[in-house]
Chains A and B, each alone.
Chain A
């Protein structure tokens, strides 16, 4: 099967939501197994796709951090099991001195015999959590957080801006710290030790505060927070509907991940929640008349990436329903786990993005030409049709005050053109 990619999609890389869908499905698949071979397979697939498709953007390096975090999680899980965990019977490795606990603390133990079975089980549970983390790390490395936030529906726009600003804030603080260090050195003040730290904290905070004030004034001057008057009821529907819907979705997701806790795997909750959220967001979105500049488009590549993730997850779910052996690691008797073929095949489909996802070249800045706007670019509700291209301005008058202009001015702006009344 060959997938031909549309040219416009190659411009700005894959839709960030597609990456998150794929990664979410891979993580979902990981939660449904404790077979270390399958878990390792999922982690490798995620790492391979990241290696193939990451950009030079700063967040692209974050997968390594998540791998390290995963190792910490496994070690922590094993250590906790050794000290506090359930005393499973089996082959004793060593025995820790036991601390007797009062009767009300039953089920918790400190110390005691540590068996191979208990350690293996803890390590595998830790590995499962680590793999989930790695999947999210993969999405983090592949999708620009800014672009993901741009996809938020209008009702969540303000929350999105807050997150965007704070995302930009972190490098800002790093730069502020460097600046304050320089400034202290230039004034002959200590930059190391306790005195240095104290002297630096306040200026850094002060410059951060300054920066937020300037940013707020700039955003205000640039039309942030313009509102359309809407009825009180619509406003309530927007906020209330979204909140209730999100709650239902959370319940649904819980059901879907923890098989058996809710009827039909929580799917009805998920569906009802989605409908409510959709309605709430539509109602809330009426309060602003923002438009989107070059919204990310969902094309065949996005479908393919999303579907590959869904395939990996469904392979796992179907195997679970059919009772395919080897999905969960057996510790009694402790033996090398088998490789169940159906889920493994599903996971390998998750490699598809490495082949079909377009590279995001935007971060390297090598592109010089831009394709014309795509046809799917959504028209703002109620906006007039785009004005026909204005004719090029008449040649400049031979005016004494006018200097030779080194810049070519091709098209005139017309005030008010295209604005929503």
Chain B
């Protein structure tokens, strides 16, 4: 269905090719997952499928990309729209119309599909993706997850034979992600649609994948193979695979069910060693750094937060979890003093954060927003770091050093706009963390980050927490929460529905439990690392 023949692609003004000598065949009806480290060229590979690379991006492409027999040399992206549907990383940026229903019909209108057929397909897609209640809503009023589903629906209605998705679940909560992935699997299994998707949260997608393409980055050759084979050696691997490597399971299990069948000996062995240590509870005598009291926020008639009480004490890592649109980002924005509460109060170090001048505030509170690129306006990465040092009065090089510890080997001469999503996030993190604010707020910090970067982030957050800093992370990433959080707060429709020790909260939730906990239930193990340490202790 998709055939890459000796494809080499170099961006204009780049010294080295991003893709070199790629040969790849993707069969009809395959669900192919493209994995690779941050900035390795996954997005470039995906965009080459329908010719956006190089027709739209510029640069030099040699070799040949064929989709359904049509070469992207002869067919520009618009002439391939009936064969390939592409959903980008930022769905909101792809919307052309203003209403959900019209957006779903847009591609079909361009393709000249008969009105009666259009009407039926729109209705079907509304049902398929659970959008029927949003059909006449303006697109600008949708939450991130809803926008993602509309963007997928908008290409699905054209009934393409190939669907290309770049991180389709990165903005979604676990339940919504599962819903989207389940519909994708259905499209593959029942309709023979070919799906190619790039994803960093492998734990979500590998149970569904037929084949895997590992993009090693720096123009290295692709590694293509059955999911289990690629996973056995891949440098990026979800917790379940790491657990399999640790326990020596072969073939590598890809779903929780497969793993549980293999896990019985491991569970029995773990039962003989000490149960996972409870997270160190912070000393209650310490004064809370941030306090929200009866915090209520409403946008028009919609209550985003409803009488939320929250105290964050030094050394705590609080994971704020919940559905898309449950008020997580709003809570963070209030703690950072970006918004004034409608009702109730927010105090950070005893003062209302909205009253502090920005320069003082960033020494106390650092927020990395969901769209991290928002923070970056310098000409180059190096320039951005230098400006950050200068503005916050740090010694030159502090931010650059922080960046190196978050993501080593950043291209310092690049424009922030040319970085990958994950690289941009790393840069924003470094800028916010460099002045060492004692309260750090992170909104979806792992969106677009690969596993090695995530590990480094986890290490960094743990070190900060050990120093007595407070960290509040709003995230859908249950694995991240399992690794760093000491406390978990679950929000639903603006209310706190549970608040407690992270291990208790996540282990008892079918939605928020990490993979290791699901495999090793009922014992409350959360991470591979815990298991590894316990086993190392047990075997003398």
Contacts and interface: CB of A to CB of B under 8 A. Distances in A.
B73 to A, nearest CB: 16
A378 to B, nearest CB: 6
Q: Which interface residue of A150, A179, A223, A385 has the most chain B CB atoms within 10 A?
A: A223
A244 interface: no
Contacts of B135: 365, 367, 370
A394 B123 CA distance: 20
A194 interface: no
B93 A294 contact: no
B459 interface: no
Contacts of B94: 214-215, 218, 222
B129 A179 contact: no
Given A386-B117, A403-B185, A223 B76 contact: no
Given A218-B88, A368-B133, A399-B189, A418 B431 contact: no
Contacts of B191: 393, 412-413
A286 interface: no
Given A289-B112, A294-B119, A414-B159, A189 B78 contact: no
Interface in B116-140: 116-124, 127-130, 132-138, 140
Contact of A407 (B77, B121, B129, B158): B129
A307 B53 CA distance: 53
Contacts of A412: 190-191
Contact of A183 (B108, B109, B337, B374): B374
A223 B111 contact: yes
A97 interface: no
B79 A226 contact: yes
A223 B81 contact: yes
Given A293-B119, A409-B186, A187 B78 contact: no
A415 B111 CA distance: 13
Contacts of A403: 178, 181-182, 185, 207-208, 255
Contacts of B55: 220
Interface stretch (B269-277, B341-349, B361-369, B516-524): B361-369
A392 to B, nearest CB: 10
Contacts of A339: none
A224 to B, nearest CB: 6
Contacts of A288: 112
A385 B161 CA distance: 22
B153 to A, nearest CB: 12
Nearest to A387: B117
A223 B75 CA distance: 11
Q: Which of A146, A219, A295, A362 has the most CB of B within 10 A?
A: A219
A61 B181 CA distance: 41
B470 interface: no
Contacts of A293: 101-102, 105, 108-109, 115, 118-119, 122
A383 interface: yes
B190 A409 contact: yes
A222 B106 contact: yes
Given A293-B108, A293-B109, A396-B186, A226 B81 contact: yes
A222 B99 CA distance: 17
B23 interface: no
B37 interface: no
Contact of A415 (B88, B159, B367): B159
Nearest to A12: B136
A176 B467 CA distance: 36
Contact of B182 (A146, A291, A407): A407
B156 interface: yes
Interface string B337-359: 11000000000000000000011
Given A183-B369, A383-B114, A294 B78 contact: no
B397 to A, nearest CB: 18
A413 B159 CA distance: 6
A321 B466 CA distance: 91
Interface stretch (A129-137, A202-210, A252-260, A273-281): A202-210
Contacts of B93: 210-211, 214-215, 218
A380 B114 contact: yes
B439 to A, nearest CB: 13
Contacts of B99: 146, 362
A175 to B, nearest CB: 8
B77 A220 contact: yes
A373 to B, nearest CB: 4
A414 B377 CA distance: 46
B432 interface: yes
B88 A214 contact: yes
A191 B52 CA distance: 38
Contact of A221 (B50, B113, B391): B50
A81 B481 CA distance: 72
Contact of A224 (B88, B110, B128): B110
Contacts of B375: 183, 186-187
A164 interface: yes
B362 A224 contact: no
A7 interface: no
B112 A383 contact: yes
Contacts of A402: 185, 189
A393 B192 CA distance: 12
B56 interface: yes
B94 to A, nearest CB: 4
Contacts of A206: 377, 417
B183 A221 contact: no
Contacts of B140: 171, 175
A291 B113 contact: yes
Interface string A377-404: 1111001111101000110110111111
A419 B431 contact: no
Contacts of B189: 396-397, 399, 402
Interface string B91-103: 0011111110110
Contacts of A413: 121, 124, 156, 159, 191
A417 interface: yes
B115 A379 contact: yes
A150 B50 CA distance: 28
A292 B113 CA distance: 8
Please indicate which of the listed interface residues A175, A186, A224, A411 has the most CB atoms of chain B within 10 Å of its own CB.
Answer: A186
Contact of A410 (B109, B124, B130, B358): B124
B449 to A, nearest CB: 20
Contacts of B121: 413
Contacts of B127: 408, 410
Contacts of B52: 217, 220-221
A182 interface: yes
B154 interface: yes
A187 B431 contact: yes
B427 interface: no
Contacts of A159: none
A100 interface: no
A290 interface: yes
B468 to A, nearest CB: 22
A380 B98 contact: no
Contacts of A408: 127-128
A225 to B, nearest CB: 5
A223 B56 CA distance: 14
Interface in B179-205: 179, 181-183, 185-186, 189-191, 193
Contact of B183 (A214, A373, A397, A405): A405
11 contacts: A164-B98, A175-B140, A180-B374, A188-B391, A225-B78, A291-B113, A293-B122, A370-B123, A380-B115, A396-B189, A401-B254
Given A182-B333, A220-B77, A409-B128, 8 more contacts: A188-B359, A222-B154, A223-B79, A223-B82, A294-B118, A367-B136, A373-B119, A408-B127
Interface of A: 57, 146, 150, 161, 164-165, 167-168, 171, 175, 179-180, 182-191, 202-203, 206, 210-211, 214-226, 288-295, 362-363, 365, 367-368, 370, 373, 377-380, 383-387, 389, 393-394, 396-397, 399-420
Which 3 residue pairs across A and B have the least CB separation, nearest first? A223-B81, A293-B105, A418-B117
